[in-house]
Amino acid sequence: MKGKLKILTAMLIFGSIGVFVKKIDLPSSEIAFLRGIIGSLFLIFASVLVKRKLSLKSIRENIVLLVVSGTAIGCNWIFLFQAYKYTTISNATLSYYFAPIFVMMIAPFVLKERLTPGKVGCLIAAMIGLSLINLGGSDTSSASNHLIGILYGLLAAVLYASVILMNKFIKDLSGFETTLVQLIISSIVMLPYILLEDTVDFSKLTSSSIIIILILGIIHTGVAYFLYFTAIKELKGQTIAVLSYIDPISAVIIAAIFLGERMNFVQIVGGILILGSTFWSERIEK
């Protein structure tokens, strides 16, 4: 399978996550935990299958960053799944896609990167876009729920942005190795949380919910991450950045087809502003 096809497949898989999560009758923390466990086991199996050995020495040297970033990934999933529960998949996904904007905002302080006028323009455009998405749903009776969902999506974006920045400081580990260790750590960290905060009861799960959870763990985590990280070596960074926009666009289309979710004109304009600003901020970076 060629690199572009791998990325395309991975992005389409990521774009359908929301539809599957909405069909699982479990708290967000438990869904995130099961996703992490199943995804980790699949990636371990994949690494054995392709005979890829983990560098234990490098893992030990980066263990602090791996633990913190792994924890952030677990919390990021919980907030994203909460966003799906409160608002539409379109609103949640576009809010979540604010992550590159947060990276751009934090980078001058963490990475000492210069905040250029072009980047400031992208930041302003993204803020306007987010406002339009929120205002576009204000005429509905569940406007407050939409706002809560968007806030959860933004919290997830902040955590994902922190993972992106922390990964820049991880040395001598491939993207595949880093992701595998982070998934394992996220599952370990989430276990005591769900035991303390939630009444864990999987006995009421239907057979369809079990199948969906397995799909979420194996396909949306294991297979998608495996395709993504094996494709990175075959493609240029700019190509990967452009193809990554298939994720939010496909999420909106899939939600419209399978859940009947629709975006009004104001929200569509807001979505274009967010995706456009993240795209141009990456172009400026290049």
Q: What is the pLDDT at residue 240?
A: 76
Q: What is the pLDDT at residue 11?
A: 92
- Buried-state track 52-78, b at ≥16 Cβ within 10 A, e below 16: eeeeeebbeebeebbbebbbbbbbbbb
Q: In angstroms, rounded to a whole number, what is the distance separating the alpha carbons of residues 75 and 29?
A: 8
Q: What is the pLDDT at residue 132?
A: 82
**HEC string of 227-250?**
HHHHHHCCCCHHHHHHHCCHHHHH
82: nearest Cα among 154, 158, 142: 154
What tens-digit pLDDT sequence spans the chain (286 residues)?
Answer: 588 899 899 999 999 999 999 989 888 988 999 999 999 999 999 888 877 788 889 999 999 999 999 999 999 999 999 999 999 898 999 899 888 888 888 888 887 777 788 878 888 888 888 888 877 655 455 667 888 999 999 999 999 999 989 988 999 898 888 999 999 999 998 888 887 776 666 776 788 889 999 999 999 999 999 888 888 777 776 677 777 888 998 998 999 898 888 888 888 888 888 888 887 777 766 6
21: nearest Cα among 276, 273, 236, 220: 220
Q: What is the pLDDT at residue 198?
A: 60
- Report the predicted TM-score, pTM, of the whole model to 2 decimal places: 0.88
Contact call for residues 171 and 59 (beta carbons, < 8 A): no
**HEC string of the chain?**
CCHHHHHHHHHHHHHCHHHHHCCCCCCHHHHHHHHHHHHHHHHHHHHHHCCCCCCHHHHHHCHHHHHHHHHHHHHHHHHHHHHHHHCCHHHHHHHHCCHHHHHHHHHHHHCCCCCCHHHHHHHHHHHHHHHHHHHHCCCCCCHHHHHHHHHHHHHHHHHHHHHHHHHCCCCCCCHHHHHHHHHHHHHHHHHHHHHHHCCCCCCCCCHHHHHHHHHHHHHHHHHHHHHHHHHHCCCCHHHHHHHCCHHHHHHHHHHHHHHCCCCCHHHHHHHHHHHHHHHHHHHHHC
